[in-house]
Structure 1
Amino acid sequence: MKLEEANVKLNKLSRVRFGDLFSDEDMNTIILNKGKTGQLLELSLGMNLSNTNLDFEDGELKTNKCDANGKPIETIFITQISSVIDELIQEKTFEETHLYEKIRNILYVPVCKVGEPKDWMFLPSIHIDLREPKFAELKDIWKEDYYSICKQLKSHIENSEDGFIHTSNGLHIQVRSKDSKPYHPIYSDIYKRYVSNKNHAFYFQKKFVEDIKKLNF
């Protein structure tokens, strides 16, 4: 299934309570699996439940927990950086990065999880394709964020007391730690040493949601 097809289907179901959208059997499955958003989306789109992440033919799905007004409650995971740390240090061209591949064409789906699972609902989704001229402003923001973060990470490695990378922020995108014990340190071939004692990842910050809702798409 392609992103735009999913976008149309999901927007037809926006603000419909899950209790009215899914069968009792489906709701039990969702509750047993701790309300995984990927499963909710698969069910709503008429897809078969699977143990893999929900992928679309032409892009990435980005969901987020929000309140009834669509205000984000959490940041949005994009991708981990351990395998591309040296590309970031060297400021690889934005359009050639793994990050760009992950955010070039995305479907943002806010999920209101206020109350019991039966009262949860999808809110209107937004399809963002950076290759389209109408998203040029957004692409410029993310591109500037990327290069700013690259510079921040390099500065942390070379100037911080521990020699490790730390949280680095752009306007919409940030890099921060994402790991659990046992931790996975990040090694740089450029510096010939570990540059972090745990894994880190790119995230969209809450301002990303606030701003894309304001833009006239």
Structure 2
Amino acid sequence: MHKKNEELANIPFKEYLSPKQVKDAMMIINKGKTGQLLELTIGLSLSNTTLDFEDGELKTNKCDHTGKPLETMFITQTSSIIDELLSNRKFKDTKLYKKIQRLLYVPISKEGDPSMWMYLKPIQIDLSLPKYAYLAGQLEIDYYSICNQLNQQLSESNKATLHTANGKFIQIRTKDSRTYHPIYSAIYEREISNKNRAFYFKKEFMKYITQLEDI
């Protein structure tokens, strides 16, 4: 799959997508649509499985033509794992770690007309490799820091609710749409957020891995 991604790098959509697919790109509503186009283009079937590949995750994100990220990047929802976070479950045992330990990151340049949008050179990340030792360590630090921040937020009162929690490379913030999906914690025995929340990679993460590739 990595080879197929490399073959598509820096080629405008109009060069290999059908007119209908280009039209679909022009009518993008949700930010994940271009990622879905890539999945279909390289032969993946769309699904809600935990991982896109047998051994890793495909992630796409909006950038400019130089690869500079223009948005944060969604990782995973937190409602089903909230009590794992609040109990500081071991980082490498979490769904979060499973989602990020191996990534194929594909930046998408969305400058100009959608027919001229293109995927840039993919970056393959494996947190077990020495090259990514600092990144892996910082993500673990971020994870425990965020878990502690969530507990601090909720300890302010018996009616306190969650709000944004930040690390250096990742964060948790609101991700929901009407009708909203409140989060219930068995640990706190109450609703702790009136909306669903999710982990995101901050722009600093994409900048770091891109710079690392250029070294």
Normalising by structure 2, we get a TM-score of 0.89
CA deviations over 1:52-87 (Å, ceiling 9, x no partner)? 369222111111011111111111000011111111
Indicate yes or no: 2:19 matched with 1:24. Answer: yes
Runs of 4+ with deviation above 3 angstroms: 28-35, 50-54
Q: Which of 91, 94, 118 is the equivalent residue of 1:94? A: 91
Q: Give matches, 1:133-172, under 5 Å.
A: 133-159=130-156, 162-172=159-169
Q: Which of 58, 61, 76 is the equivalent residue of 2:58? A: 61
Shift of 1:32: 5.3
3-state DSSP of counterpart to 2:155: helix
Partner of 1:3: none
Shift of 1:29: 4.5
1:39 alignment partner AA: Q
Partner of 1:10: 5
Distance in 2 between residues matched to 1:134 and 1:64, nearest whole Å = 22
Q: Which of 119, 122, 133 is the equivalent residue of 2:119? A: 122
User: Residues 159 and 206 from structure 1, CA distance in 2 versus in 1: closer, same or farther, beyond 3 angstroms?
Assistant: same
Q: Is the 8 A contact 1:10 1:44 kept in 2?
A: no
Distance in 1 between residues matched to 2:46 and 2:40, nearest whole Å = 13
Percent sequence identity is: 51
1:108 alignment partner AA: Y
Q: Which of 193, 196, 200 is the equivalent residue of 1:196? A: 193
What are the ranges of 5 or more consecutive residues in structure 1 without an aligned counterpart?
1-5
What are the ranges of 5 or more consecutive residues in structure 2 without an aligned counterpart?
none
3-state DSSP of counterpart to 1:88: helix
3-state DSSP of counterpart to 1:151: helix
1:125 alignment partner AA: P
Normalising by structure 1, we get a TM-score of 0.89
